Every structure is written in C-alpha cells, then in structure tokens.
Amino acid sequence: MQLSDATGAQAHDALAALLELHRRHFPTHGHVQVELEANAVHPMPTDDLIVHQVVATVDDVPAGFIVVHANLARSIGIVHFLAVEEQFRGVPLGSTPRSTVAAILVDVAEYLVTDDGTRSGRPIRFGTVAESDAEVVKAWNQWGYTPLNIAYAEPYFGKHWADHGPPEFFDMALVSNAARNVPYDTEGRDHSPAAVARAACEAFLVDHYRLDPDHPRVRATFASIDV
C-alpha cells in the first residue's frame, strides 16, 4: 500500500483521486469539495491549523482517504472524513490486526497531528477525535476510539450553513482515542472525557463550522458535557 499527501504543487494526481473518492462516498457533501481543493493549496491556512489529506492506494488503485486537522489552539486532532473502497474493507495488508487500509489511515492521521504538535511546541494533549454516524461507531471501536457521552450534532452544509439560512442540525456521535496510549505519543494526554469533549466541540462547532457559541443547539451541546 502507498500513502500520498494530497497537498502541495506536486499532489495533482493524489488530489484528483481524493476528490473522486470523496464524491463517491459522501455524495451529500458536495459543498466540501472546494474546501478540499483549498486545503491542497494552503495546508496551513492559519497559525493554529494544519490540514492533512492522505490518499491510500493498493497496486496503484485508490483504496481510501482520510482528512484530519491539527487544531493547535485547542490541542486536538479532528478527523473530518474517512472512507475506504468496499473491496479493501477489512482486508489485512500485513500480519498485524491494524494492517487494514482503514486502520493504517487512522494511525497515520494520529501520527501526523501528534507530530504537528511536537514540531510546533504546541502538543496535541487531547488526542484525536472524529464525527461518526451511529452505525459506524463499532468500526471506530476497533481502531481504539470510544464514544464521548454528549449530545452532539453537526450543521447541515458544514461551514457553509449560512448560505442556506439559519443552521439546522443532524445528530452525530463524537469518538475519541484520548484514553488509548500509542507508541508515538510522547506528549501525554488528558484522559478526562469532559476535557476532551470540550476541546472537540470547540474545534468542530466553533472553529470549523463557525457557529455562534450562544446558539441554543451549541449551548445545549456544551451543557451536556458535564452531565
């Protein structure tokens, strides 16, 4: 299996593969395509954010991709998209349980954001989190992620919700790896579910989706953290 970073001037083919995979696996998220293209040109759009878009190929066939952000201000990594082509799902590419395409992509994403924190002197103290449909949580469990027990919801149209009027939301789960120690984790993590959940909601809802912290649905999400 080969991994390619779909960012930078030399990443034309990897970006094209990523966009095609994204269109196929997330057909209702067409509004994100422009973001993925922008990430390829500016993988560090601010001093607080580093974006990684990784495409996996098996025998030169695009097999899957992952998009992860290192939010240095919140000390957390957030996975935005993960997808693997059906013929490569669950197929081991090596001799270890974590040698499937999905597990390798998740491990690489964790490594990249942890390395970002180390190199910048701003450690990723809260590990990596991801939004997940309820039916996919079991798969995340296999990769070492556990659900955060909060009332989380994502806005339709992502950060482009304002183009469609007031934000409307759909329920999602947040999963976190903060309680799992991994070999390259030298910074130390805060394993408190409440601390992880707060950093995750700030990174996703406030920073990425640009929602007003005083919006009733956002307030309700933060209120549920301490319940």
| pLDDT > 70? residue 119 | yes
| pLDDT > 70? residue 95 | no
Region 128-149: mean pLDDT is 94
pLDDT digits (tens, 9 = 90+) for 31-84: 999 999 999 988 888 899 999 999 999 999 999 999 999 999 999 999 999 999
SS3 content of the chain, % helix, strand, coil (to 5): 40, 25, 35
Q: Which domains does the chain have, with CATH numbers?
A: 2-225 (3.40.630.30)
The CB density around residue 168, as the number of other CB atoms within 10 Å, is 12
| pLDDT > 60? residue 142 | yes
pLDDT in the model for residue 190: 61
pLDDT digits (tens, 9 = 90+) for 175-223: 999 876 555 554 556 668 899 999 999 999 999 999 999 999 999 999 9
Spatial contact of 109 and 66, defined as CB atoms under 8 Å apart: yes
pLDDT bin (cut points 50, 70, 90) of residue 152 is: very high
pLDDT digits (tens, 9 = 90+) for 4-13: 888 876 688 8
Tokens 């081991």 belong to residue: 92
pLDDT in the model for residue 109: 96
pLDDT in the model for residue 141: 94
pTM of the shown model: 0.91
Region 148-177: mean pLDDT is 95
Spatial contact of 150 and 224, defined as CB atoms under 8 Å apart: yes
CB within 8 Å of 163: residues ≥ 6 apart: 157
Residue-wise DSSP of 98-155: T-SHHHHHHHHHHHHHHHHHHHHT---TT-EEEEE-GGGHHHHHHTT-EE--S--EEE
| pLDDT > 80? residue 226 | no
pLDDT in the model for residue 227: 54
